[in-house]
Every structure is written in C-alpha cells, then in structure tokens.
Amino acid sequence: MLSSLTLAVLLLLATSSAHAIHQPCLCSALPSGGLTVNCSTLNLMELPSLPSDTTELYVEDNLLTTVTPGQFDRVVSLKKVSLSGNPFHCDCRIQYLRNWLLKNRAIVLKEPVCVSPSSVAQKAITELSDDYFSSCVLASCTDVAYNTLLGVTLCCVLVLLLWSYRLARRSTFTLYIDKRHAGFQADSLRSMKPKHRRRPHTELSQVSVDYDSLSYTDDLQRPLINMELRPQVMDVLHKKHDKRIKAT
Ligand SMILES: *[C@@H]1O[C@H](CO)[C@@H](O)[C@H](O)[C@H]1NC(C)=O
C-alpha cells in the first residue's frame, strides 16, 4: 500500500517535471565575441527566445513545427544556423521562416524540409513558391502594421471631411432684404417677365390693351419685396450656392 502510494507520487513528480522543465540550451561565448546557442536534440516544440548577440544557433533534431513570425528579426548577427531534423508543418505560418531562409541562405547549414502537409512533404521550405502562400491573407507582421496605420489614417481623414461637411451645412446665412434694394429687385424681376407681356399694346388687339396694360402696370406698382420675390432668391441661393436664407 505504502510502496504503491510512493510510486504514484514519484510518477506524478516525474511527469510534471518532464512537462514543466525543459533542458536549457547550452550557451557559450565565442573567443571572437559572439555567442553559441546549442539547443539540438532537446525535444523542443518551439524555439526559445534568443539572446540578440547570438552568432551560432543549433536547433537541429527537435520537434519544431514552425517558427514564430519575427523571431529572428532581433538576432541580426547570426553567422551559422542549423534547423534541420524538425517536423515543420508548412502552412501559412511557415511563410516567415521561408522568407527568412531565402534571405539568409548563406548562413543556413542544412536545408530544413517540410514534413506535413503531405502535398509538400520532404520539400525544402525555401522551395515553396509565392503561389503556395497566395491564399494567406496576412503576409507578415510588418504588412499588418502598415495596413492598420493606413486604414486608421484614411478613417481620420474621412471623419474630418464628414465633420466639416456637417458644419458647412448647419451654418445659416441670413439675408436681410430691406427697402433700399427693392428697386434693384424690381428691375431684375421685370426682366424675368415674358417679352410679349411687356408690350401688350403693340401686339394685341385694341380691345384687350386696356385690360393688359392695366394689369401689368398693376404688377409693377406692387411692392416687390414680398412673397413673390423671396422664394426665387432663396431658391437660387440654395440651389447654386448651397446657402440657406432665413427671411426676416
Ligand atoms: C550541441 O550539444 C550537443 C549535446 O547537447 C552536442 O552533441 C553537439 O555537438 C553540440 N553542437 C555544437 C555545434 O556544439
């Protein structure tokens, strides 16, 4: 009973420690000033974050399926990299590693290959074409950041435009029409009259002359500041100049 309990506790400890603690990568300073990071054959599922002064990196024969986008961006002084012997899964997430490998062919010791999916099994990651990634929407982190920035800027400009448009529409221009301008408006109104009505006595029969001239004279004598004029002025201003008039 006691021995089986001890065994259970030992098993539990063993499994939890196996999950929690990874053997650390071996780091050693090079005489030339760089840093060697040796993570080979440690059953790593993902690449640990690397010191920025790493010059040699050995990660062969682990269980890596991908490399997090941007992982190598900080590590700019790499001279030797070994990534072979990992079961890389070549979906959209492998695009970062593929692009990085293409740019850094000279320092990669042995071509890492895809293990899955089956369509590209045993194919070198660098041989994956641009077409292969054409369905991947988010190309890379920098592209996403750039597009986001562009989108936000465009939105700001649009909001500003809408705001100024609303401001412009809301503002009301008040037009005061007073008696001093009545004569001018009467003239302009007169010119709008059809020509044949201006000289009725020359064109129409004698019988109707009196009536027409009378009614037309009546027209001209009327104070022209009133209801007939304002809608026209307001209409023109509103349609042609987009100004609203508050008649007083
Ligand atoms: C990395 O470490 C392993 C043992 O942990 C060793 O066998 C291998 O030679 C080392 N590689 C390098 C390049 O130092």
pLDDT digits (tens, 9 = 90+) for 166-200: 988 887 555 555 555 555 554 554 555 454 444 44
Give the integer Cα–Cα distance in Å for 176 and 225: 11
Beta strands in the chain (DSSP E): 26-29, 35-38, 54-58, 80-82, 88-89, 114-116
Those residues whose C-beta lies under 8 Å from the C-beta of residue 39, and which sit 6 or more positions away, are: 25, 26, 47, 48, 57, 58, 59, 62
Q: Is the pLDDT of residue 25 over 80?
A: yes
Is residue 100 within 8 A of residue 77, CB to CB? The reply is no
For residue 153, what pLDDT band results from cuts at 50, 70 and 90? confident
Res. 155: pLDDT tops 80: yes
Q: Give the tens place of pLDDT for each residue, 119-130.
A: 999 999 999 999
Locate the ligand 1 atom nearest the alpha carbon of residue 28 and give its number.
14
Q: Tokens 């022209």 label which residue? A: 224
Ligand 1 atom, smallest distance to 42 CA: 5
**Nearest residue by C-alpha to atom 3 in ligand 1:** 40
* Phi, psi dihedral angles at 37 (to 5 degrees): -115, 115
pTM greater than the 0.85 cutoff: no
- The strand pairing partners of 35, in sequence order, are 29, 54
Predicted confidence band of residue 214 (pLDDT cuts 50, 70, 90): very low
- H or E stretch at 196: helix 195-198
Average per-residue pLDDT for the chain: 75
Structure token pair of residue 29: 């300073």
Q: Is the dihedral of CA 125, 51, 48, 72 positive or negative?
A: negative
Give ligand 1 pocket residues (Cβ under 6 A). 26, 38, 40, 58
Specify the residue with its C-alpha closest to ligand 1, atom 10: 38
> How does residue 151 score in pLDDT terms, banded at 50, 70 and 90?
confident
CA of 40 to the centre of ligand 1 (A): 6
Higher confidence at residue 25 or residue 155? 25
Residue 164: predicted pLDDT: 87
Instruction: Looking at the CA of residue 56, tell me the nearest atom of ligand 1.
Output: 13
Strands 35-38 and 54-58: parallel
Among 39-53, 57-71, 76-90, 181-195, where is mean pLDDT lowest? 181-195
Instruction: Kindly give the residue spans of alpha helices, DSSP state H, lying in 2-139.
Output: 2-20, 95-103
Ligand 1 mean position, distance from CA 199 (Å): 114
CA atoms within 13 A on the CB side of 194: 3
